Amino acid sequence: MSDVAPPRARMPPSRAWTLPPRAWALLLSLALLAGCASLPSLEGRSESQAIASAVGTPIHEALAPGLAAHPGLSGFYSLSDGEDAFAARIAMIDAASRALDVQYYIWNDDVTGRLMFDALERAADRGVAVRLLLDDNNTRGLDALLATLDAHPRIEVRLFNPFRQRTLRLLNYVFDFTRINRRMHNKTLTADGAATIVGGRNVGDEYFDAGGDLGFVDLDVVAVGPVVAQVAASFDAYWRSDSAYPVERLLPAPDAAQRERLERAVAAVRDEPAARHYLDKIRDGRVMRDLVAKELPFEWAAASLVVDDPAKALGRARPERMLPSRLERAIGEPPQHEFALVSPYFVPGREGTAMLAGMAGSGVRIRVLTNALESTDVAAVHSGYARRRRALLRSGIELWELKRSASGIRIGPRGSGRSRRGRPDVAATVPEPVAADGEGGRGGLGIGSGSGAGSGSGSGVAGRSDASLHAKAFEIDRERIVIGSFNFDPRSALHNTELGLVIESPAWALRLSRSFDQQIPVNAYRVRIDAHGRLEWTERRADGSEVLYHREPNASIGRKLLVWLLGLLPIERLL
């Protein structure tokens, strides 16, 4: 046997190193393009602050009697219906006489988005100072429109955590992922320092029952009283933060032709039959009637705002200044008897699962409503939830998953249950039976279909038949309820900035609790573990019968496979 080793086969050169010169030139150009782009300096940025509730403004005068009758308390009105939610926003913008502070994560360039842009511009035309703060993650295609709005002498627009490279946005994720992965998820609209809208809705047709195949089931509240000052202070903190960049420093100034094109586009939206039909519906709605008559019923309660330090968007916020810690301090002792949670993107993770299991083990009844695989709009999030499902069920936690067919569902009370003058609200006197056709009563902070003027039919502009949960709320021991923008997931806890209202209202907390007994069972699947350790889903049909599934109901094979594959990846902390 020869001691000489046989010659080793030559390995072919790596394909990565044999790219054509033009491909290398393109990659190098993209890297330089992303690396050279930088954010402008914030030095010399104009400063402003929210106004206090101004005596003499129409909004203040309308609210004054109720505020005087409930000293120290804040008033809340639930916006569980999409059309009501849009009507309330337009009404507040139109009623403002001094200032509007508007903060959103998503603002779509669609019918309702254009109509709200138009309402803000009309407010500015009559002398209202408008400050608009948008997260930059979802502004693709809006640069020209935002620059045009910002050119108005009474409108100032800022983008939160903006993209350095605006044309090839994907490059920002490649070269600046840590920063770009942190987003501002807050949603508020405050008028004259006197009234605000806070909750889960973004601005877009799918959030306001304005058409499309899929509509979001969501929840906001109109708030008045002392808590408005807390919302205003939060807006100021974000407006002045190191992540808020004036649009004029990011985008080229619009020319006359661009402004004219925008005006024509907005006018075209107003003249569309679908838009006119939608506006007619909200004018005839209950919220608009009550606003005009100054009889909007409020739930009066002590409340506080919990909100992330805006420095969280740059990874600089201390843990005690982030929402989980602030929420824990605002709530006080943890649940002792009951915890009911509504969260569309429910990813408890290892720590959250252990915490919930510990609570359940100590005797707390825990019930959760989230999206089923068929109704979620983010399959990756469902994969994070699905990997914890068995552990949650084994600990005794009740899991409910919203059906995609729950198109008429509404989360939230019809107002407060009491009028501002102390009389019972008519709608709140209606009981909440589980009706055979799946429709519940309009009263209560539950989930029901509602009917009649202002409740919305779910048809919107073009009609829709499918639903996806987007509301975020939970109640503790039937004593307090929390409504806001945050989900029970790592993204809300670690990456995005969020806010929420802690409302000390046993009435509202009780109604959310009862919805798990009365309304949710007809609109969601109950998930359990059978005797063989397998998951099963129970669906209650309209005729009272039940259907049992042993796999994710009504979800395609491709969707199930995608969730399974995503569940294998170490991405839970990003969800």
Q: What angle do CA 441, 301, 227 make, to 5 degrees?
A: 115
Q: What are 84's two structure tokens?
A: 């009501």
Q: Is 192 a catalytic residue?
A: yes
Catalytic residue among 60, 312, 382, 470: 470
Q: Is 185 a catalytic residue?
A: yes
Distance CA 81, CA 78 (A): 9
**93 neighbors 188 (Cβ within 8 angstroms):** no
* Residue 444 Rama label (left phi>0; alpha psi -120 to 50; beta): left
Distance CA 37, CA 172 (A): 10
Nearest alpha carbon to residue 528 among 406, 405, 401: 401
Distance CA 156, CA 223 (A): 24
Catalytic residue among 110, 118, 135, 192: 192
**220 neighbors 472 (Cβ within 8 angstroms):** no
Q: Is 277 a catalytic residue?
A: no
Catalytic residue among 110, 135, 150, 185: 185
Catalytic residue among 81, 209, 477, 489: 477
**379 neighbors 552 (Cβ within 8 angstroms):** no
Angle, helix 111-125 to helix 143-150, in steps of 10 degrees: 10
- The pair phi, psi for residue 392, each rounded to 5°, is -65, -45
Catalytic residue among 60, 187, 382, 495: 187
Catalytic residue among 60, 403, 472, 495: 472
DSSP characters for 355-407? HHHHHHHTT-EEEEEEE-TTT-S-HHHHHHHHTTHHHHHHTT-EEEEE-TT-T
Q: Environment class of residue 396 by beta-carbon count within 10 Å: exposed (0-12), middle (13-18) or buried (19+)? A: middle
Q: Is 281 a catalytic residue?
A: no
Could you give the residue numbers annotated as active site?
185, 187, 192, 470, 472, 477
